[in-house]
Every structure is written in structure tokens, then in C-alpha cells.
């Protein structure tokens, strides 16, 4: 298994649980988004900076696999990496761990759009370079959680 | 008890429940908002029409009393009326019923702001008049649910 | 294109929009869930009845494609059908329309679990039969929205 | 102004914003809940521990004042204290700051219920004592943010 680039810590909120006493399955998309925001903050100056430069990113596709339910107050790690940066498009992949246990995995596809025209626009060169740098400088395998090696 | 002006039907979503197997207490603010939207649609041309005319309404205060929990798939009635229309401000009041049973009540205060300057602005005359008309034309007491008479 | 079985009406709530002024992408999973609840109510006695018989259904996978953004107060139709009913598992497919326009499509996979042991359990025969009946009795092609024919 | 006991850090999620490009007003109730969870974790062994002992706490009332909108990615401090611990009831108060600026304030009232019977039950002595200890040991005024002194 390939390495992961960024770790985001999430603590399951009571409001995110449902009457099955587990985290509702829609909450994972919100955690993925939070992980993207932290990834972009760490590697590319932050999503607000992107928007300030007139670039918006929209979600075009999402895919989730739920393996083991998360529960109220669980501390989760959302590991993130960015792939397939091409033209206007890029893809984020996610792995949700609780300790060494895989709870869920997924990916989301995105397109850059011009904030004014709302038309697709190529990923700005500085953003593409920031992502390439992030993905090549990611922590060596030894720095990653055991479960991510499986 | 005074009369109520508009009834909005809400069906409790599974995503709105929490690990206590009841509707989460923040969901009521979302239902109140939905009730305001239906009120404005019925009596004042709709909230999107308001925004199209450059007027935004913001929430300045909210108050909720939870009496009996709502559960998954419950059919609720949110009764709404508008009060205290003055200057830039107005107030909505809510009563949440399940059948004849009172589950919750609350109110929210609002201010009109100019969509461009984001500064407070007087309620437009046509909106004030629409609300006054709504509140005076509201259904006679006999049209209201028994529980609302108590 | 195959037919669809059940239509669920959704009106985009203001709370479901985000700072891009469109419906947030996680809201679609909540609408899909609401569509499943209405499907099961119409064809299989309702999800609460399922839970009352000791059967829970969990989401094991979800996949969404976002084509055109939905906006505040949009009236959407979520068309639903059930496929691949096998052992403990079944799959729902969704198509989100605004008028004749396709906004999104997706599917979710589910497993039945025993409400007490939380172990996978075969879909009860009555539920399987209800789904088969629903899918064979679905409205003829002529009853469906034009866009769904494309 | 009295002192505050516990500080919880919140970062506004994109999913929490709405089409007015500010944090939706219902999100504050979720942040208040998160602040209670952290308060109880720090001072009383945690809310999961409470539930494990058969005690649930329900929200009976909520009140919020919105002063200045919060925006995407804002870092907020939610200051919390507990008041009016009496019989089955207690009250939390909240102050939401962004840097030195007050964005919102509010309170929520709660009742303890027995997890099995769902009937009101006196606050357990150990919980009452933990709260009294928390409120008397709270940081001296000098440790608090300048804005909280105003």
C-alpha cells in the first residue's frame, strides 16, 4: 500500500451520531472535506487563499466504503493524499483509522472553476506544483501508522 | 392562546436523530428556518424573491424549549407566526406539534440587512405590509389544531 | 435507460447550502436516505417496522456523481430503485432531477444486521418479496419523467 | 463579568457555512455541545463515562444571541461554565470569541434522566461535586482572554 500525506484528527461529535448509535454515514464526507482543507492549508497556503485568488474547487464525484462504525467521542485519524492532477481535475483519497483499525476509506474527485464565470479552469500552476511537492515530500513509510501498511 | 398563521409539515429524518434515538436539538432550528421559508413563500412572495430584491434577513437571536422528544419518522407540524415588526427587526414564533402533543416551542429574532453593504436596513414596506396582512388574515381559531388552543 | 420505482420530493433547505451558494455535497446522502425511507414505507411497511422486527440495515458503500449544482429552495425529485438483493445485501440507485435536468446520480449498498447481535443476517423473506414486487410493479415507462428516459 | 471555566477550540467547517457565506446559526448549538463534552471530559470523567453509569443528560432549553457572523475556516474559542446545579437540572453558559471579538453568546438548560426509565433523576453526587470543583478551580481572571473581561 502506498503512503499517505497528511493526517487530520477528528473527534466524533454527538450531533454526528444517529439512532443506530454510530456516526451517520454522511458525516464522513464532512470529515473528508475537513481533511482536504487541512491538506491545502499545510501544502498550498489554504483553501481560503485559493478562493481569494478567484479559484473555486467543486466536488464532482465521491465514493465511500464503510468498514467498521465510528462511535460518539471516538478519536479518528483521516489520512489524505492527492492523485491524478490533470487539466482542471484532481482526486483526493482518504483512509479513516481509529487507532490501528480501518473504519472507512474513500475518494472524491474535484474540478477547478473560475470563481466569476463558474466555468472549468486549469489548476493554477502554483497549486499543481504545491500538490506535487506535497506528494513527493510525504513522510517516509516508517512514519505512517501500522494499519496503513497492510 | 393566540392563533398561529402557517403550518409547515416536517418528517423527522434518520440523519436528524442522535445516539439518544431522538431528534437532535439543533434540528429544530433547521425546521424553524424551513417554516419561515414556507411562511414567506405563502405570504410575501418567497425568501428567494427577497434576496433577489437585495434584502437579506439574518438571525440575531434564537430561543427554544424542548418539552417532549421527537423520534425518527415522526410527522410534525411547525406552526408559525410573525410578531414585533419594527424598524429593521422582526420576530418569528414557533410551536412544534406531533398530533395534539406539544413537543417544542421557540422564537427567533431577525434583522434585515442590505445584501451589498451588509448594514441593517428598514424592512421594505411591501414586506411589512405582507406580514401584517398574513397575521390579520390568519385562519380563525376553529381552523387550528386542538392542542394550539390550550 | 431502465425505469425507476419511487419518487421522493425534496426542497433544498437554506441550512443545506454552503458558501458556494449551492447545496452542500453531503446533503445528497441525506436525501438518498430520505428516498429509501419513503421507498420502504411505500413498498415494505416502513423502516420503523423493520427495526421493530429486530432488523437494522447499515450502509456499506456509497457513490455519488454531481452533475449540476442544486440551489436554495430548488424542488428536486429523487427517483429510487432497488437492485442486487442477495443474501444479507441490497443496493439502492438514485437519480436527482430538477424539472427535466439531471443534477446527480448515485447508489448505496446495504447489509441487513440483527438488531441485537449486530451480525449480518439474511434479508427477511417478506422484505425480499416486497422489494421484488415493488420493482416488478413499478410504473410503466410512460409514467416516468422525460429526463429519465434519456 | 464573571470568569469562564473551559475553552474549546472550533474551526468553522465549510459544511457549516450557508449561502450567506457565514456559519449557519444552527452550527452554534453543535459547537456548544462539543464544548460541554470537553468540559465534562476535563472535569467529570467524560460524557461517555456518564452514559456508562446509566445517566443521560437531555437539553431542555437553549438560548442564543448572534452578534457578529463567523466565516469559513475561522478559529473560534468557545468559553464555557456551568451554573445553577439543582436537583435534576443544570445550566451551561457559552461565549464564542474570534480573537478578542465576541461573536455569540448563549446558554442551554439540561436535565439528568435515568438511562433505562428515561425519568428525571437527581444529578449524581459525584457529578455535582465535579462541577462545583471545576467552577471553583477555574483559571484566575488573568488567564482569561481580554475580551471576556469586558
Interhelix angle for C27-44 vs C125-136, to 10°? 100
Tell which wins on pLDDT, D146 or A2: A2
| D47-86 core/surface letters (b: 16 or more CB in 10 A; e: else) | bbebbeeebbbbbbbbbbbbeebbebbbebbbbbbbeebe
Instruction: Specify if A59 maps to a domain.
Output: yes
The CB-side HSE value for B51 (13 A sphere, CA atoms) comes to 12
If you average pLDDT over residues D32-60, what whole number do you get?
91
Nearest to A15 among D30, D46, D73 (CB): D30
If you average pLDDT over residues A68-85, what whole number do you get?
96
Q: What range does the domain containing C53 cover?
A: 6-149
Whether the predicted pLDDT of B62 surpasses 80: yes
Domain CATH code at residue B84: 3.10.129.10
In 3D, which of C99, C115, C120 has the Cα closest to residue C55? C115
Q: Which three cell numbers stand for residue C137?
A: 410493479
ipTM surpasses 0.85: yes
Structure confidence at residue B51 (pLDDT): 84
Whether the predicted pLDDT of D27 surpasses 90: yes
Instruction: Specify if B1 maps to a domain.
Output: no
Looking at every residue in chain D, the average pLDDT score rounds to 89
If you average pLDDT over residues B100-120, what whole number do you get?
93
Q: Where are the beta strands (DSSP E) in B12-74?
A: 55-66
Q: Which of residues 112-141 of A touch B (CB under 8 A)?
A: none
Q: Looking at the complex, does the CB of residue C14 fall below 8 Å from at least one CB of chain D?
A: yes
Q: Phi, psi at residue D126, to the nearest 5°? A: -65, -35
**Nearest C-alpha of chain A: how many angstroms from D142?**
30
Pairing of strands A89-98, B55-66: unpaired
Q: Which three cell numbers stand for residue C44?
A: 415494505
Looking at every residue in chain A, the average pLDDT score rounds to 89
Local confidence band at D51 (pLDDT 50, 70, 90 cut-offs): confident
If you average pLDDT over residues B84-93, what whole number do you get?
95
Local confidence band at B143 (pLDDT 50, 70, 90 cut-offs): very low
How far, in Å, CA of A37 to CA of A32, rounded? 9
Residue D137's CB is within 10 A of a number of other CB atoms, namely 9
pLDDT in tens, B28-39: 999 999 999 999
Classify the C-alpha dihedral A135-A139-A141-A147 as positive or negative: negative
Q: Which of residues 35-54 of D touch A (CB under 8 A)?
A: 37, 46-48
Judge if pTM exceeds 0.90. Answer: yes
Pairing of strands A75-86, D55-66: unpaired
Q: Searching chain B, which residue's CA lies closest to the CA of residue A70?
A: B19
Local confidence band at A25 (pLDDT 50, 70, 90 cut-offs): very high
Owner of C-alpha cell 488573568: D142
Which residues are B98's β-sheet partners?
Answer: B101
Whether the predicted pLDDT of B146 surpasses 70: no
Strand, helix or coil for residue C25 = coil
Whether the predicted pLDDT of C58 surpasses 80: yes
**Nearest C-alpha of chain A: how many angstroms from B70?**
12
Structure confidence at residue B138 (pLDDT): 62
Structure confidence at residue B2 (pLDDT): 60
CB contact under 8 A, B69 and D59: no
pLDDT in tens, D87-127: 999 999 999 999 999 999 999 999 999 888 888 999 999 89
Structure confidence at residue D146 (pLDDT): 45
Cβ-based neighbours of B96, under 8 Å, separated by 6 or more: B28, B31, B70, B76, B77, B78, B79, B102, B103, B104, B105
Q: Looking at the complex, does the CB of residue A65 fall below 8 Å from at least one CB of chain C?
A: yes
Structure confidence at residue A47 (pLDDT): 84
CA–chain centroid gap for B123, Å, is 17
Whether the predicted pLDDT of C121 surpasses 80: yes
Whether the predicted pLDDT of A133 surpasses 50: yes
Instruction: Specify if D41 maps to a domain.
Output: yes
Whether the predicted pLDDT of A144 surpasses 70: no
Owner of C-alpha cell 451517520: A24
Q: Phi, psi at residue D48, to the nearest 5°? A: -60, -35
Q: Phi, psi at residue C89, to the nearest 5°? A: -115, 155
Query: Using an 8 Å Cβ cutoff, are C91 and C103 in contact?
Result: no
Structure confidence at residue D138 (pLDDT): 62
Instruction: Specify if C105 maps to a domain.
Output: yes
The CB-side HSE value for C127 (13 A sphere, CA atoms) comes to 26
Residue C16, phi-psi category: left (phi > 0), alpha (psi -120 to 50), beta (remainder) = alpha
How far, in Å, CA of D34 to CA of C144, rounded? 45
Give, for D75, the enclosing helix (H) or strand (E). strand D75-86
CB contact under 8 A, A60 and C66: yes
Q: Looking at the 3D structure of chain A, how many domains does it have?
A: 1
Q: Searching chain B, which residue's CA lies closest to the CA of residue A25?
A: B15
Whether the predicted pLDDT of C115 surpasses 70: yes
Whether the predicted pLDDT of B139 surpasses 80: no
Order of all β-strands in the sheet with C6-11: A6-11, A75-86, A89-98, A101-114, A55-66, C55-66, C101-114, C89-98, C75-86, C6-11
| Contacting subunits of B (3+ beta carbon pairs below 8 A) | A, C, D
Structure confidence at residue A33 (pLDDT): 98
Instruction: Specify if A82 maps to a domain.
Output: yes
If you average pLDDT over residues D131-148, what whole number do you get?
64
CB contact under 8 A, A47 and D15: no
Query: Using an 8 Å Cβ cutoff, are B18 and A14 in contact?
Result: yes
Query: Using an 8 Å Cβ cutoff, are A35 and A93 in contact?
Result: no
Query: Using an 8 Å Cβ cutoff, are B103 and B43 in contact?
Result: no
Instruction: Specify if C82 maps to a domain.
Output: yes
Residue A54, phi-psi category: left (phi > 0), alpha (psi -120 to 50), beta (remainder) = left
Instruction: Specify if D1 maps to a domain.
Output: no
**Angle made by CA atoms A142, A143, A146, in degrees to the nearest 5:** 70
Q: Which three cell numbers stand for residue B15?
A: 440523519
Q: Which three cell numbers stand for residue A6?
A: 497528511
Structure confidence at residue A147 (pLDDT): 44
Instruction: Specify if C110 maps to a domain.
Output: yes
Local confidence band at D14 (pLDDT 50, 70, 90 cut-offs): very high
Could you give the C-alpha distances from B1 to A138, B84, B146, D25, D115, in angstroms and in order?
A: 65, 17, 11, 29, 35
CB contact under 8 A, A14 and B19: yes
If you average pLDDT over residues D19-47, what whole number do you get?
95
pLDDT in tens, A11-22: 999 999 999 999
Query: Using an 8 Å Cβ cutoff, are B113 and B119 in contact?
Result: yes
With beta carbons under 8 A apart, name residues in chain D contacting B69. Answer: 58
Local confidence band at D1 (pLDDT 50, 70, 90 cut-offs): very low
Amino acid at each position: 500500500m502506498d503512503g499517505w500525506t497528511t493526517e487530520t484528527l477528528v473527534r466524533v461529535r454527538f450531533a454526528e451520531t444517529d439512532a443506530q448509535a454510530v456516526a451517520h454515514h454522511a458525516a464522513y464526507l464532512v470529515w473528508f472535506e475537513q481533511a482536504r482543507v487541512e491538506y491545502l492549508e499545510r501544502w498550498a497556503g489554504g483553501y481560503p487563499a485559493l478562493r481569494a485568488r478567484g479559484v473555486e474547487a467543486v466536488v464532482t464525484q465521491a465514493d465511500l466504503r464503510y468498514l467498521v462504525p465510528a462511535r460518539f467521542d471516538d478519536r479518528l485519524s483521516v489520512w489524505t493524499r492527492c492523485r491524478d492532477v490533470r487539466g482542471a481535475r484532481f482526486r483526493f483519497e482518504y483512509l479513516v483509522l481509529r487507532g490501528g483499525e480501518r473504519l472507512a476509506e474513500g475518494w472524491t474527485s474535484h474540478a477547478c472553476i473560475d470563481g466569476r464565470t463558474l466555468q472549468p479552469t486549469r489548476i493554477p500552476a502554483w497549486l499543481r506544483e504545491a500538490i506535487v511537492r506535497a506528494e513527493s515530500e510525504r513522510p517516509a513509510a516508517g512514519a505512517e501508522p501500522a494499519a496503513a501498511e497492510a
